[in-house]
Amino acid sequence: MKRAGILMLLVLVCSFWAQGQQPAPQAGASQKAVSGITPNGVMGEVQSVDATSKRLIVRADGTGESVEVRIDDGTRFLRTRPGATTLEGATPITLGDVSAGDRVWARGRVAEDRKSVPARAVIVMTKADIAEKRERERAEWIRRGVVGTVTAVDPARREITLQARSFGGPQTIVVEAGPAVKFRRYAPDSVKFDDAKPSAFEEIRVGDQLRAKGERSPDGMRFKAEEIVSGSFRTVFGTVVSADPVSREVKIKDLQSQQTLTVVTGKGAMLRRIPAEFAAMLAQRVNGQGGAMRRRPDGQQGPPRDVMAGPPQSGPGGGRMMRGGFDVQEMLERLPALEVSELKPGDLIVVQSTRGADPTRLTAVMVVAGLDALLPALQSRAAAGTLGPGMDLGLPGGILDLGIGLP
């Protein structure tokens, strides 16, 4: 009976863990961080494995404390898949199968100082399995997703009107957000989806960036949401003053305010350099020389295929065509990553950031370089006081209004 009770507790913990460690509370409920340390065990990410001394160092969820997990010959190891709600199908493993970056629940009586636990059982989700699950989830958000800027909110109908970005022009989509929809909202000064807080329909505001997952209507004008992620962001054009690859901080001169701002580019930030041909196309459009975004040889609107970094595809990882044109954010996500060390003084960049307490520090969601061809036009607009996101420059569909990143 005792053994069955322990097993049931492990199942419950595993289920809780699989749901993302912090179950979303109902609207209005307390949103306190869940600690990974309890009297009966520790849950978190493995920092190091010492097979000789038979111990793991685990960084506990919520608190970030390091806990020593002590192993003996009676410790049982089980590997389970991310998303599993029971231990059915879990496979026995050994300490030698555990690596740094794996997630574990170590079951045992935690010491009073919370520094160690002699583990009777260790449930493991490997780093590789977690990464595979996240890639599947990202692909699902791309395949069944929509992203844009909130232009209207209808509380009575629980509907949100979005302006989606595309090369063919702005697209208006009405998002149906029924009572079963799961809401999350990006935290100030954080670009990590894992830091997004449980939210509610009532927190959505005009001007927010929003990404929803669900089903689009056949005509593409309506979208029935299952999950919604939102946030309040800033878009800033500036020239690089200095770039520190060690701290990953970039000083820029804001073209609009002429202030020097600090851009923080943490692990969650996306840094990209757009191809020169695409930048030249944007410059032609801003300067009134390009007219409508030109047609590609394949008949679609937008940059040529080489700019899209690969042949267009219909599935995840390819160039998803929105009604009215190519999805700009997906194109940026598919470009090679840019290192902070590659940014040079004088480079023109556009930064999208969350809104934090200090307006002179930007926690970047996305940094896009390679825009130097646009600098004369931007400086002219800034001097005239008309500088703003993409459409204020006359660009189609808010191309430089970078939007919200993928979870």
CA atoms of 237 and 362, how far apart (whole Å): 12
Q: 260 and 362: one domain? A: yes
Query: How many domains does the chain contain in total?
Result: 3
Q: 113 and 42: one domain? A: yes
Strand 37-38 and strand 103-107: the pairing is unpaired
356 vs 40, more confident? 40
Q: What is the mean pLDDT of residues 196-202?
A: 92
Q: Which residue has the tokens 């006081």?
A: 385
139 vs 46, more confident? 46
Q: 99 and 48: one domain? A: yes
Q: 207 and 317: one domain? A: no
Q: 283 and 388: one domain? A: yes
pLDDT band for position 286 (cuts 50, 70, 90): low
- Asked if 244 contacts 252 with a C-beta cutoff of 8 angstroms, the reply is no
Which of 125, 152, 177 represents a domain boundary (last residue)? 125
Tell me the per-residue pLDDT of 317-352, one tens digit each, with 9 for 90 and over.
Answer: 333 444 333 455 566 767 888 999 999 999 999 888
- Asked if 207 contacts 388 with a C-beta cutoff of 8 angstroms, the reply is no
Q: Is residue 17 part of a domain?
A: no
Q: 385 and 270: one domain? A: yes
If you ran DSSP here, which 8-state letter would residue 390 be given?
A: G
- Asked if 175 contacts 159 with a C-beta cutoff of 8 angstroms, the reply is yes
Which of 81, 101, 125 represents a domain boundary (last residue)? 125
**What pLDDT score does 169 carry?**
64
Q: Which residue has the tokens 């840094």?
A: 271
Q: Is residue 404 part of a domain?
A: no
Q: 201 and 103: one domain? A: no
Q: 225 and 275: one domain? A: no
Q: Is residue 371 part of a domain?
A: yes
The burial class, CB within 10 Å (0-12 / 13-18 / 19+), for 30 is exposed
Q: Is residue 343 part of a domain?
A: yes
132 vs 29, more confident? 132
Identify the CATH number of the domain in which residue 83 sits: 2.40.50.320
Domain range enclosing 90: 33-125
